[in-house]
Structure 1
Amino acid sequence: MSAESDEKPLGSRAPAFVQASRPLHLSWRAGIFVVGLAIVVAGIILLPLPGPGWLVIFAGMAVWGTEFVWAQHVLRWTKRKVQEGTEWMKERRRLRRERKAARSAP
């Protein structure tokens, strides 16, 4: 089973009654966009300041990801890169421990 098949399907996660009405769905999407944009802008403002700027930006992307496929793709790519970076760091740590153990062995 691949990682792609374990993930939620792409697309809108709006309630069915919202998706049933085109004007309501467009309003819903506009609202999601504005809320996500406000969160992302707040994150960008926090980047040079002490605070969780990147975390806030990703929270805004997660809000967008509830409605927009492009944001869902960005979030999946980011998750993959974070997992790859975590595995790389674990491997570096393991190799460093092995080298240290080899140096201290008689």
Structure 2
Amino acid sequence: MNAESDERKEVAVAAASGSAAGDDRTTERELGSRAPGFIRKSKLLHLSWQVGIFVVGLAVVGAGVAMLVLPGPGWLVIFGGMAIWATEFVWAQIVLRWTRRKVTEAAQRALDPKVRRRNIILTTAGLVIVAVLVGIYVWKFGIVMPWKIEQ
């Protein structure tokens, strides 16, 4: 618990100094448990709360991993499970902050006009190549239906 408390204090000091320095970044929430106060007061109740949060988060992450190979929004469910864990565990909060930062950076890069233009050109070239190959195949072999219809 001491490492978590120390880290929370460091983040709070960094957030306060960042906002005092006039940074444009938004201040992030304090790290740590978001359990109700009456649960945090009792050590046994807080431990059982953490176990419950861990089990629920594990079930959601497990379902997301299964959805990576089965139909369903696998990554979205995995990040949902991480968000459940982040309500109680500092390590999950740090992972989600890092992920949010990387996703934001990737979105900004994807919206860059040069990158968009390059992606459009590459997609168009790929579609033209696929269309030419399909045309050559149909010209050479014709269209053969998988069933035979006799008239």
Pairwise TM-score range, normalised by the shorter structure: 0.7 to 0.9
Name the % identity: 61
Residue in 2 aligned with 1:60?
81
Whichever residue aligns with residue 65 of structure 1, its letter is: A
SS of the residue corresponding to residue 11 of structure 1 reads coil
2:49 to 24, 28, 53: 28
Give unmatched runs, 5+ long, in structure 1. Answer: 101-106
**Cα offset, 1:2, TM superposition:** 5.3
TM-score (norm 1): 0.85
Are positions 1:48 and 2:65 aligned together? no
Whichever residue aligns with residue 60 of structure 2, its letter is: I
Give the distance between the partners of 1:74 and 1:30, measured in 2 at CA.
Answer: 19
**Cα offset, 1:49, TM superposition:** 1.5
Identify the structure with bigger relative contact order (alpha carbons < 8 Å, sequence gap 6+): 1
Give the distance between the partners of 1:2 and 1:79, measured in 2 at CA.
Answer: 17
What is the count of residue pairs matched by the alignment?
95
Give the distance between the partners of 1:12 and 1:2, measured in 2 at CA.
Answer: 27
Within a 5 Å distance, the mapping from 1:1-106 to structure 2 comes to 1=23, 3=25, 6-91=27-112, 94-95=113-114, 96=117
Per the alignment, do residues 7 and 14 of structure 1 end up closer, same or farther by CA in structure 2, a change over 3 Å counting? same
SS of the residue corresponding to residue 51 of structure 2 reads helix
Give the distance between the partners of 1:22 and 1:2, measured in 2 at CA.
Answer: 39
Give unmatched runs, 5+ long, in structure 2. Answer: 1-22, 122-151
**Cα offset, 1:43, TM superposition:** 0.3
Give the distance between the partners of 2:24 and 2:43, measured in 1 at CA.
Answer: 34
Give the distance between the partners of 1:72 and 1:24, measured in 2 at CA.
Answer: 21
Per the alignment, do residues 73 and 2 of structure 1 end up closer, same or farther by CA in structure 2, a change over 3 Å counting? farther
**Cα offset, 1:6, TM superposition:** 1.3
